């Protein structure tokens, strides 16, 4: 499950795949498993912090050294922002679950930030065997992997972060993760730096958007959708006081729309988040080209992988991208091809 649209679309398949994986894991018990578990348990320090979560509680080391994370946008981003590189991570579905590639991942994490981190499979269907081999002293998981919690908690202390189930705001979620690993002070410094960027952005923007409205429409595999009003980029928009089109603020859930309804979400400034880099159908369709924002040169096709985030690194990369269009007046290279 994932807060973003793609995660919602694939959730049923993840649950089926994970259930199948757990059935296999229950039958497959390599001879080294007990030894590895015993080793992991023996290394547990007598001094630990008890962390309670929805699925139970875990006594985690005061300073965990070998963390495995099973969520990219909310948990991996947060750990890297705190200066902690886990030994392993599940890979989002743009990473095909097997290896890191040259592409960016949710939340647009730069390749140099994830170098050296081992993949333990795709989000929602991690490999228990790969996790076991990494000998973690802490496992942090999100809702898409919670079916594996009983097995994970036998490998190492495991903590569920209810990011997606409870729709925890980005900054609150980050604070929760920082507290879990005992890095509250470092977490507040990270958020303070983000707030400084927000203040600088607002000062640079001034009143140039006075009287204008901004809208965002998602596009993935020939389907348009509108994100809910608490989505990732709406949170940053509100931080910098951007004038969001009112109809977007009424959206309580992700909603798919037909291309005939696109005009309802037209605005002075319009962003299309596209994962297909970009799709020719998007900037050649007459209904799209007739939009006010397109005609006025204020429509932009942006990289959905950069605009799909849930942690401090993602928020800052998003501000980098947003500044190109709102502060530097970058022209969209795709709609300019329509003639």
> Which run of H or of E encompasses 151?
helix 149-155
Residues 218-257 pLDDT 10s: 988 788 999 998 889 999 999 999 999 999 999 988 899 9
Distance, CA of 100 to CA of 80 (rounded, Å):
16
Please give the pLDDT value at position 93.
Answer: 57
Range 264-293 average pLDDT: 87
For residue 165, which phi and psi values (nearest 5 degrees)?
-65, -45
Does 137 or 44 have the greater pLDDT score? 137
- pLDDT tens for 95-133 read 444 444 444 454 456 778 888 899 898 888 889 999 999
For residue 33, the model assigns a pLDDT of 40
Alpha-carbon span 332 to 210, nearest angstrom: 22
165-178 b/e (C-beta count within 10 Å ≥ 16 → b): eeebebbebbbbbb
């Amino acid at each position: 499950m994932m807060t973003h649209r793609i995660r919602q679309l694939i959730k049923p398949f993840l649950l089926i795949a994970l259930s199948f994986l757990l059935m296999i894991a229950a039958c497959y018990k390599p001879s080294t498993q007990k030894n590895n578990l015993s080793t992991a348990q023996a290394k547990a320090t007598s001094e630990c912090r008890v962390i309670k979560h929805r699925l139970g509680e875990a006594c985690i080391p005061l300073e965990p050294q070998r963390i495995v994370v099973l969520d990219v946008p909310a948990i991996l981003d947060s750990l890297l922002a705190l200066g902690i590189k886990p030994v392993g991570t599940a890979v989002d579905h743009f990473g095909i679950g097997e290896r890191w590639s040259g592409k960016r991942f949710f939340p647009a994490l730069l390749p140099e930030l994830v170098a050296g981190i081992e993949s333990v499979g795709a989000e929602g269907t991690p490999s228990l065997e790969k996790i076991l081999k990494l000998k973690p002293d802490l496992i942090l998981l999100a809702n898409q992997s919670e079916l594996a919690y009983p097995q994970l908690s036998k490998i190492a202390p495991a903590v569920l972060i209810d990011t997606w189930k409870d729709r925890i705001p980005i900054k609150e979620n980050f604070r929760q993760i920082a507290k879990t690993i005992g890095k509250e002070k470092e977490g507040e410094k990270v958020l303070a730096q983000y707030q400084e960027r927000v203040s600088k952005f607002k000062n640079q923007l001034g009143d140039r958007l006075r009287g204008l409205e901004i809208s965002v429409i998602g596009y993935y595999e020939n389907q348009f959708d509108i994100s809910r009003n608490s989505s990732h980029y709406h949170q940053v928009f509100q931080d910098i006081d951007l004038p969001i089109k009112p109809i977007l603020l009424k959206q309580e859930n992700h909603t798919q729309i037909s291309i005939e309804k696109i005009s309802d979400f037209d605005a002075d400034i319009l962003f299309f988040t596209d994962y297909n880099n970009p799709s020719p159908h998007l900037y050649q369709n007459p209904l799209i080209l007739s939009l006010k924002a397109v005609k006025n040169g204020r429509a932009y096709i942006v990289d959905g992988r950069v605009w799909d985030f849930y942690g401090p690194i993602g928020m800052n990369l998003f501000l980098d991208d947003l500044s190109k269009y709102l502060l530097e007046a970058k022209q969209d290279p795709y709609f300019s091809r329509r003639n």
